[in-house]
Amino acid sequence: SAESGEALWMRYLKLPSDLQSLYIPYAQVYFEEGSSTIEVAKQELAQAFVGLTGVDIKFQKKPFKCSLLIGKNVNQFWNIPDIEKNLKKCANEGFVIRSVKRNGVRRIIVTANTDAGILYGTFALIRLMQTGCPLDSLNIIERPKYKFRLLNHWDNLDGTVERGYAGRSIWWNRKETLDALKHQYLTYARANASIGINGTVLNNVNANPKVLDQEYIEKFARFADLLRPYNIKVFMSINFSSPVIIGGLPSSDPLREDVQQWWNQKVKEIYEAIPDFGGFLVKANSEGQPGPQDYGRSHADGANMLARALEPYGGIVMWRAFVYSPSGDDRAKQAYDEFVPLDGQFRDNVIIQVKNGPIDFQPREPFSPLFGAMEKTPLMIEFQITQEYLGFSDHLVYLAPLQKECLDSDTYVKNEGSTVAIVTNGTLFKHQYSAIAGVANIGRDINWTGHHFAQANWYAFGRLAWNHNLKPEDIAREWIKMTFTHDSVFVESVLDIMMRSREAVVNYMTPMGLHHLMGWDHHYGPAPWTDIEGARPDWLPRYYHNASEEGIGFNRSKSGSNAVSQYAEPLCSMFNNPKTCPQNLLLWFHHLPWDYRLSSGLTLWQELCYHYYRGVDEVKLMQKKWDRLRGRIDDERFEHVQHKLKVQVREAKWWRDACVLYFQTFSKMPIPYELERPE
Ligand code: GCW
């Protein structure tokens, strides 16, 4: 049922009647015939229109009496002069939506240069209706900011999902046939098309070499066939040792000819099965994965070998920069140190995939200093949509503010305004390829993401990948209306809940620049005290918080690891000085005494306590706001979220108490009286 969340934001339930009457006049539609992409766009419009308005679309063979014209060539009927001009701005995937008055009647034209553009334009029009926008004065010209907008599934071939909190893999280890599950795959495809996702990596970056066996190539091909009409390409994560493990070669050294031949042959096999295959994603010499360094070769040697194999077919290599070793320098510095010297050595079809922050998907990190530091190499950004370090699918955390904060960060590498967004979208250094990836949060749960609100993170990631200038609040408002209801009390309260949620989780987990205090390996819940004999030190929270009687925090200033110097001026100086370092990153860059005075007049210890307590108060407020909404939506989803919020409040307290009491064993200072007083 729609109440289960199965239909995501494509519920298409009947709109309030005043809105229905705005849209019903557009039921006479001329939809230019075309490919399967055009066909699915047309079907989607039909389904949405009747759902939202209760009126069936009448598709006409001739355009003349129609109020809605959709197609690549439809402007020939009306010859609106600036449409041709605007189409030039739309490139391959963009679209134009334009309202005009002809013979006293309002009409709409949706046009584009390609079938993909028509698909996205149709979904944009549907979204306008879903969110209750008037259609009589539209003049929309859009094109996506990134060329590749991807989901990364960390799905293992055995059906488990690494860091997945919404059930098992939708792709692998099914007993059911693909046909039996077609409905789910098509929902996935429609959902992604509706937000502009145009590629998907179907297996975990910790890649099983078997994925290159014929059996799996065939499976990939079948998924590719299903997704193709929705303008979604499939990509594969590969294991660098595949030539040895499945090819039986003595080595996987990228400079050996037999190894190169092996990859060329494999790539050929793949393209025979999937002519529009997207390319490879590679995690190499990272967390124990094999890679070119096993043979004394560089990341560039490894990436270029694969790039050469893919080049003739137009495929790309996304080579991850998530590298760090326990014997090395400050973990936050290592990716930069390893990759910056390789700038200029990668082939044109290699993109370096960099996580948003220098450590690992924390509730807050500064942006990775790699962004902007490799002018000759396209760098793509990887966000994590699944909430590995943010309460799994139990905590309501709206991630668009986190992503937006990173994308809007100014790197200052060229001049002011060199944001992470324009570094990665290819405009700053004029790269041919640009890409953005989100580690998917979906699984076989009926509602796809475990928490109903985690659907918003899938949605928002896609919207920001399409256009990083969108505001998180606007994206949230769209999503709430499409997913739940237009009831304005509900929309505004839920918007408020969502917009508070990210800062709340930062506060109750890791305020003021603290990071990686989560439990060993599972990363759920607080464990700043963890000590495991023989464990990798850089996987222990102590490595990051360094709490002692002297103080707390990681000294990354010039007197410490000097990670600050990986940032351009004026950021370097700003981060380097605790007086000018943003307070929300203070303990990321500095180790400070407990009685250090902040601009608020409070000591570091007091301020830390305030943040932890505020985190809990915020979640309680979120809970109260939700509780007041009973009856405004179906009980099924209302109660599900209500239950999750109970868990979140309880766990926010767990985080607060665990961290404050643990750190108090070092600070030996009292918790400020007004925080401690009984409720
Ligand atoms: O976030 C860490 C996770 C690993 C993950 C790794 C990576 C896929 O704890 O589970 O492995 O990052 O991004 O490669």
Q: What is the pLDDT of residues 401-432, one digit of tens each?
A: 999 999 999 999 999 999 999 999 999 999 99
User: Residue 679's pLDDT is what?
Assistant: 60
Gap from CA of 524 to ligand 1 centroid (Å): 14
496 in a structural domain: no
pLDDT grade for 68, boundaries at 50, 70 and 90: very high
Mean pLDDT, to the nearest integer, of 504-533?
97
Identify the CATH number of the domain in which residue 64 sits: 3.30.379.10
Q: Ligand 1, closest atom to CA 206?
A: 8
The predicted-structure confidence for 475-500, as pLDDT tens digits, reads as follows 999 999 999 999 999 999 999 999 99
pLDDT at 1 over 80: no
Spatial separation of the C-alpha atoms in residues 459 and 198, rounded to whole Å: 14
User: Is residue 264 domain-shared with residue 387, that is, in the same domain?
Assistant: yes
Domain boundary among 142, 177, 199: 142
Contact present, 93 and 167 (Cβ < 8 Å): no
pLDDT grade for 81, boundaries at 50, 70 and 90: confident
pLDDT grade for 559, boundaries at 50, 70 and 90: very high
- Match 């925090």 to its residue by tokens: 553
> Into how many domains does the chain fold?
3
The predicted-structure confidence for 429-471, as pLDDT tens digits, reads as follows 999 999 999 999 999 999 999 999 999 999 999 999 999 999 9
491 in a structural domain: no
Domain boundary among 115, 142, 169: 142
User: Is residue 349 domain-shared with residue 236, that is, in the same domain?
Assistant: yes
pLDDT grade for 175, boundaries at 50, 70 and 90: confident
What's the maximum distance between 2 C-alpha atoms anywhere in the chain?
81
pLDDT at 327 over 90: no
Q: Token pair for residue 630? A: 């009973």
3-state class (DSSP) for residue 219: helix
User: Residue 176's pLDDT is what?
Assistant: 83
360 in a structural domain: yes
Identify the CATH number of the domain in which residue 522 sits: 3.90.1330.10
489 in a structural domain: no
- Match 């309460």 to its residue by tokens: 391
Q: Would you please indicate which residues are annotated as catalytic (active-site) residues? A: 287, 360, 388
The pTM is what?
0.98
367 CB within 6 A, ligand 1: no
User: Is residue 46 domain-shared with residue 83, that is, in the same domain?
Assistant: yes
Spatial separation of the C-alpha atoms in residues 143 and 90, rounded to whole Å: 5
Domain that holds residue 102: 2-142
User: Is residue 478 domain-shared with residue 515, that is, in the same domain?
Assistant: no
User: Residue 551's pLDDT is what?
Assistant: 98
538 in a structural domain: yes
172 CB within 6 A, ligand 1: no
Q: Which of 301, 447, 281 is nearest to 352 (CA)?
A: 281
Give the residue, out of 360, 386, 389, with the most ligand 1 atoms within 8 A of its beta carbon, to mutate for a pocket test.
Answer: 360
Domain boundary among 86, 110, 142: 142
pLDDT grade for 126, boundaries at 50, 70 and 90: very high
494 in a structural domain: no
282 in a structural domain: yes
160 CB within 6 A, ligand 1: no
User: Is residue 318 domain-shared with residue 424, that is, in the same domain?
Assistant: yes
The predicted-structure confidence for 20-64, as pLDDT tens digits, reads as follows 999 999 999 999 999 999 999 999 999 999 999 999 999 999 999
User: Is residue 113 domain-shared with residue 249, that is, in the same domain?
Assistant: no
User: Is residue 127 domain-shared with residue 156, that is, in the same domain?
Assistant: no
User: Is residue 528 domain-shared with residue 657, that is, in the same domain?
Assistant: yes
Gap from CA of 220 to ligand 1 centroid (Å): 23
The predicted-structure confidence for 260-303, as pLDDT tens digits, reads as follows 999 999 999 999 999 999 999 999 999 999 999 999 999 999 99
User: Is residue 119 domain-shared with residue 222, that is, in the same domain?
Assistant: no
pLDDT grade for 103, boundaries at 50, 70 and 90: confident
Instruction: Provide the percentage of residues in the chain whose pLDDT is more than 70.
Output: 99
495 in a structural domain: no
pLDDT at 677 over 80: no
User: Is residue 63 domain-shared with residue 91, that is, in the same domain?
Assistant: yes
Gap from CA of 353 to ligand 1 centroid (Å): 13
Identify the CATH number of the domain in which residue 404 sits: 3.20.20.80
361 CB within 6 A, ligand 1: yes
DSSP notation for 267-323: HHHHHHH-TT--EEEE--SSTT---GGGGT--HHHHHHHHHHHHGGGT-EEEEE---
User: Is residue 176 domain-shared with residue 315, that is, in the same domain?
Assistant: yes
pLDDT grade for 173, boundaries at 50, 70 and 90: confident
Spatial separation of the C-alpha atoms in residues 589 and 585, rounded to whole Å: 7
DSSP notation for 10-73: ---PPPPHHHHHHHGGG-EEEE---SHHHHHHHHHHHHHHHHHHS---EE-SSSTT-SEEESTT
The predicted-structure confidence for 241-253, as pLDDT tens digits, reads as follows 999 999 999 999 9
Spatial separation of the C-alpha atoms in residues 45 and 567, rounded to whole Å: 48
Spatial separation of the C-alpha atoms in residues 319 and 315, rounded to whole Å: 13
User: Is residue 449 domain-shared with residue 385, that is, in the same domain?
Assistant: yes
Q: Which of 331, 255, 236 is nearest to 539 (CA)?
A: 331
Q: Token pair for residue 74? A: 């439809």
Mean pLDDT, to the nearest integer, of 359-371?
98
271 CB within 6 A, ligand 1: no
Average per-residue pLDDT for the chain: 97
389 CB within 6 A, ligand 1: no
The predicted-structure confidence for 128-158, as pLDDT tens digits, reads as follows 999 999 999 999 999 999 999 999 999 999 9
Whether ipTM tops 0.90, in short, is yes
Give the residue, out of 208, 287, 319, with the most ligand 1 atoms within 8 A of its beta carbon, to mutate for a pocket test.
Answer: 287
- Match 């992604």 to its residue by tokens: 192
Closest residue to atom 2 of ligand 1, CA basis:
360
pLDDT at 218 over 90: yes
360 CB within 6 A, ligand 1: yes
